[in-house]
Amino acid sequence: MGTTWTEHDVPSQEGRVAVVTGANTGLGFETARVLAQHGAEVVLAVRDTAKGDDAARRITAAAPGATVRVQRLDLGSLASVRDAASELRASTPRVDLLINNAGVMYPPTRQTTADGFELQFGTNHLGHFAFTAQVIDLLLDVPGSRVVTVASLAHRIRAAIHFDDLQWERSYERVAAYGQSKLANLMFAYELQRRLQARAAENGTVAVAAHPGIADTELARHLPKALQVAQVVTPLFSHDAVHGALPQLRAATDPAALGGQYYGPDAIGERRGAPKVVASSEQSYDLGLQQRLWSVSEELTGVSFPV
> In terms of Cα–Cα distance, which of 251, 132, 249 is closest to 192?
132
**Catalytic residue (choose from 106, 178, 262, 263):** 178
3-state secondary structure of 25: coil
Q: What is the sign of the dihedral through the CA atoms of 240, 243, 245 and 247? A: negative
Cα separation, 140 vs 79, in Å, equals 24
Residue-wise pLDDT for 224-280, tens only, equals 454 444 445 445 567 778 999 999 999 999 999 999 999 999 888 888 889 999 999
- For the chain, what percent of residues have pLDDT higher than 90? 83
- Residues contacting residue 59 through CB under 8 Å, at least 6 positions apart: 29, 32, 33, 36, 42, 44, 66, 68
Q: Given pLDDT bands bounded at 50, 70 and 90, which one contains residue 223?
A: low
Average pLDDT of the chain?
A: 92
What are the tens digits of pLDDT across the range 165-197? 999 999 999 999 999 999 999 999 999 999 999
Burial (0-12, 13-18, 19+ Cβ within 10 Å), 138 = buried
pLDDT of residue 1: 40
Given a cut of 80, whether residue 202 has pLDDT beyond it is no
Residues 174, 171: Cα–Cα separation, whole Å? 10
In the prediction, which pLDDT does 253 show? 98
Average pLDDT over residues 61-90: 97
The radius of gyration of the chain's CA atoms, rounded to the nearest angstrom, is 18
Q: What is the pLDDT of residues 12-24, one digit of tens each?
A: 999 999 999 999 9
Catalytic-residue membership of 178: yes
Q: What is the pLDDT of residues 250-263, one digit of tens each?
A: 999 999 999 999 99
pLDDT at 236: 56
**Is 219's pLDDT higher than 70?**
no
Query: What global pTM score does this model have?
Result: 0.92
Question: What gap in Å lies between CA 157 and CA 281, rounded to an integer?
Answer: 10
Whole-angstrom Cα distance, residue 75 to residue 160?
22
pLDDT at 266: 85
Q: What is the mean pLDDT of residues 82-108?
A: 97
Give the confidence band of 28 by pLDDT, cuts at 50, 70, 90: very high
